[in-house]
Structure 1
Amino acid sequence: MAWSWRYETADGTVLGGAELPEELFPSRGDAESWLGETWRRLRDAGAERVTLFDGDTATYTMSLNDEI
């Protein structure tokens, strides 16, 4: 399965747009490393939290309002 992030507001509204890339990753570790490098840019684009997906299954949700 491919791993991906979904970008959300604090209340869970799903966000999209050119500033919020739709990346796919071969592993959870790759997805988490990418987030560690890009979370500030995502937050600046309006994402307040993210949810990690393994295929269609949500694995966890995390706030971007605190430093990673």
Structure 2
Amino acid sequence: MAWSWTYENADGDTVGTSETFDARGDAESWIGEEYPDLLDDGVAQVRLLEDGKEVYGPMSLSPE
């Protein structure tokens, strides 16, 4: 299985994707570490994908 994140701006437009991870836990750990940089780059929310299918989201990156 391949896990990845889709990045979206505040309007819900896709603005990028992450690298691919072999395990869901690895993908979730990665987003936990990287979200401040993604916020700085204008990413407002993300969606987790498994083999290209949405597992959950949108998930806000805002700390509030």
- Could you say whether these structures have the same fold, taking a TM-score greater than 0.5 normalized by the shorter chain as the test? yes
Moved >3 Å (runs of 4+): none
- Structure 2's unaligned 5+ residue stretches are none
Mapping of residues 46-57 of structure 1, within 5 Å: 46-57=42-53
Amino acid at match of 1:9: N
Q: Which residue of 2 aligns with 1:5?
A: 5
2 CA distance for matches of 1:11 and 1:59? Answer: 20
The number of equivalent residue pairs is 63
Q: Which residue of 1 aligns with 2:60?
A: 63
1 CA distance for matches of 2:34 and 2:7? Answer: 12
- Alpha-carbon RMSD across the aligned residues, in angstroms, is 1.4
Q: TM-score, normalised by structure 1?
A: 0.84
Q: Secondary structure at the match of 1:15?
A: strand
Amino acid at match of 2:20: L
Q: TM-score, normalised by structure 2?
A: 0.89
Q: Percent identity?
A: 51
- Structure 1's unaligned 5+ residue stretches are none
